[in-house]
Chains A and B, each alone.
Chain A
Amino acid sequence: MVDTRERPVSDDAVEAAPSTAIAVNGGEAIAYALKQIEPEVVAAYPITPQTLIIEKFAEYCADGVVRTEYINVESEHAALSACVGASAAGARAITATAGPGLALMFEMLGVTSGMRLPIVMHLCTRALSAPLNILGDHSDAMAMRETGWVMLSGSSPQEAYDLALVAQTVAEHPDVMLPCANLVDGFMVTHAVERVDVLPDDVVRDYVGEYEPETSLLAEGSTATYGALDFRDYYFEHRRQQEAALYASQPVVEASLKRFGEISGRHHQILEPYRMDDAEVVLVFMGSAEGQAHAAVDAARAAGVKAGALRIRLLRPFPVDAIAEALSGARVVGVMDRAIGFGSAVNPLLADIKSALWSRTDRPLMKGFVYGLGGRVVTLGQLNQALGELVSAFESGEESTTTTYLGLREDPESAEVSS
């Protein structure tokens, strides 16, 4: 059964803890969170743009700042495999990767969620090869969507830190026990040095708590079996239970975010609305294009358009009802995909949004955009163009089923590369 019980959330107004402001990039912000969490095991393989995290964390290990066992592995497949072993044995285990590294982990992604192991992964989103490209887009994250992980996405170094802590509490919640990924945009967030307010160590320890699994391979008297053979007898039931657990994690995510808001004063929601109150024309996106999207909305508002933007912070489980609610007043919705869903009906985020809104009788006109592949610079002009197309659809009442590629050099007639 899908468990949608209300989680108890403390009513006590908690005084937000005094934070310390430091200037760090997104990678270092996550490493700082890992230092405060001090997991038993970190296993990772260096890959751009994720290397910043494990380089810094390896330094903490070498300097004796943390007692974490840092496992140098030969590949990303091995990194996640090592975490699976550690987690099944009852340890708190964390990894980090990017793009091609995630691709190499693919087999173990499903093993992790299927074994219900609460491993946290910091995914520094990066383009997939070929052609070889080290820069940011969401091709890796979108390919991960069907592997049974809870997926959170931020837009700044501060959020990278915040969600690193939130992800830990979500994954290890007894009602969830699923792996959780913290999506951080490669370069635009991982390498951006900004002010990050870090919480005191004891506040983080109290928020994250000790990881005490109900059972584990090394627990005394444990009768649990991990990674068992499971054919026609119970495989189907196990997969269904896993699915139910993933859907049931949404209220846990919401409660964890709420509790985080109480201790930090930073109140994140599963969706981040911007000027959405009376918005009729809405841009939906995920990740670091926030500044450009907000500026485009501001420009449209100044021109008299009731524009708004909605950022997806929880990608899996996809918060269908919350999205339908947030977009209930929208007449035209444009969805920004930073990945191509090769051969799909539509691109990945648009597919999710369309599915979420399909049962609505008064559903809005919808339009897909692709932008920023392989680190292609995301400009305000592109976002203005997208909003302009949405306004045209609003005025004509006609839905465009073609995808608009923002910032692409392509002759629209011949589909050849233009100069």
Chain B
Amino acid sequence: MVTTTPVALPAEVRWHGRGGQGVVTASRLLATAALEGGYYPQSLPDFGAERSGAPIAAYTRIGDKPPTMRGPVDSPGLVLVLDPSLIGNVDVLEGMASGSAVVVNSIRTPEDEQTRLIRDDIVICTVDATAIAVELIGRPLPNTPMLGALLRVFPMVTLETMAEAVSKQLGELFPERVVEGNIAALERGYETATTIGEGERS
């Protein structure tokens, strides 16, 4: 565990991924968990015309009072990249201050990703979320393992609270087997994420 610095409020999170990877669902799961954790959350998808495979974004804000700002997050304290092929095509680190954190779904180490991201002043976390999802969910949906990895650099809620949110939200839509797979994937993501860099978190 590289950093356990408490997260400053309101925390602003930006998600990058492709249509079909569960970006919007993941942002919402984080918001649901944050509500369970006693916070005022906001999850806002950045919709255009939704197409499978197209680059999409979502935003999560977490505060200790009701949010009033509605719109894209332009200076995130945390960025999640669900598809590493976006790096170089989309400016995933746009507006990120020194000391903020990025979680990348990648087979590579954080050190390797750092050479692509070209930033040495941020916390970099990688997790092989796609492999975890294929093994435990049976489909390449990297969102729940990414949520697990997120908790390593963004300790706003406990793994248990996040698991409850996954169980509650996915339980409304999917059979028990799928929910269990996602919770296992969440936990594996938390366990296997690796992180480099530390600094003052914004």
Q: Write the residues of chain A forming the contact surface with B, with a CB cutoff of 8 angstroms.
A: 21-23, 49, 134-135, 155-156, 158, 185, 187-189, 191-195, 288-292, 294-295, 377-379
Set of chain B residues within 8 Å of A295, measured between Cβ atoms: 69
Q: From A132, which residue of chain B is reached at the shortest CB distance?
A: B49
CB < 8 Å neighbour of B71 from A23, A188, A193? A188
Residues of B60-96 contacting chain A, CB below 8 A: 66-72, 74
Given contacts A23-B28, A194-B40, contact A134 B49 (CB under 8 A): yes
Residue contact A377 to B49, C-beta cutoff 8 Å: no
Complex contact B66–A378 (CB within 8 A): no
Give 25 A-B contacts (CB < 8 Å), ordered by A residue.
Answer: A22-B35, A23-B31, A23-B32, A134-B47, A155-B68, A156-B70, A185-B70, A187-B44, A188-B71, A191-B44, A191-B45, A193-B32, A193-B41, A194-B31, A194-B40, A194-B43, A194-B67, A195-B35, A288-B70, A290-B68, A291-B71, A292-B69, A377-B72, A378-B71, A379-B71
Determine the chain A residues whose CB is within 8 A of the CB of B28 once the complex forms: 23, 193
Contacts of B27 in A (CB 8 A): 193
CA distance A189 to B49 in the complex (A): 18
| Smallest beta-carbon distance A9→chain B, Å | 27
Residues of A within 8 A of B49 (CB): 134
From B35, which residue of chain A is reached at the shortest CB distance? A23
Q: How far is the CB of A153 from chain B (nearest CB, A)?
A: 14
By the criterion of a CB under 8 Å from any partner CB, how many residues of chain B are at the interface? 21
Within 8 Å of chain A (Cβ to Cβ): is B42? yes
Task: Give 9 closest A-B pairs by Cβ, nearest first.
Answer: A291-B69, A291-B68, A193-B43, A188-B70, A23-B35, A23-B32, A288-B70, A192-B44, A194-B42
B35 engages A292 (CB within 8 Å): no
B: residues with CB less than 8 A from A are: 27-28, 31-32, 35, 40-45, 47, 49, 66-72, 74
Please tell me if the beta carbons of A192 and B43 are within 8 angstroms of each other in the complex. yes
CA distance A195 to B43 in the complex (A): 10
The listed residue (A21, A185, A189, A193) touching B31 by CB distance below 8 A is A193
Specify which chain B residues have a CB less than 8 angstroms from the CB of A158 in the assembled complex.
66
B69 CB to closest chain A CB, in angstroms? 3
List, in ascending order, chain B residues with CB within 8 A of A291's CB.
67-71
By beta carbon, the residue of chain B nearest A274 is: B68
CB nearest neighbor in B for A287: B70
Report the bound CA distance from A156 to B28 in whole Å. 16
Chain B residues closer than 8 Å to A188, beta-carbon distance:
44, 70-71
- What A residues does B44 contact at CB under 8 A? 187-188, 191-193
Bound-state Cα–Cα, A378 to B44, Å: 14
CB contacts (< 8 Å) of B42 on chain A: these are 192-194
**How many angstroms from the CA of A135 to the CA of B35 in the assembled complex?**
27
Residue ID in chain B nearest A185 by CB atoms: B70
- Complex Cα distance A193/B26, Å? 12
Rounded to whole angstroms, the CA-CA distance of A378 and B32 in the bound complex is 26
Contact B47 A191 (CB under 8 A): yes
CB proximity of A32 to chain B, nearest CB, Å = 14
Min C-beta distance of B124 to chain A, whole Å: 28
